[in-house]
Amino acid sequence: MSIQTLEKTMENCETTTASDSALAESPARSLFTSQTGQALITLGTLFKHIPPFNESIDKSTGDTLISIGKKLKGKK
């Protein structure tokens, strides 16, 4: 086997390994992002509508958390 053939084989292996690991992380990352978005939406709603929280936390904080949560939840 020549050195050029060996180098090409090594490049193909490295490319396949890198793309396979990226695909393996994608569903887990997507699930994490979606769940984080849902948690932020829930916290924002809690801060806006539940009396002990909405008295001490600014309404814009709840709105901001909901906005960020919707953006995260919408990404797939």
Mean pLDDT of residues grouped by 10 in the chain (76 residues)? 55 54 71 94 92 86 95 81
How far is Cα 52 from Cα 13, in angstroms, rounded to an integer?
58
Number of domains in the chain: 1
Regarding pTM above 0.85, the answer is no
DSSP codes, 53-73: HHHHS-HHHHHHHHHHHHHHH
Task: Quote the domain boundaries for residue 8.
Answer: 3-74
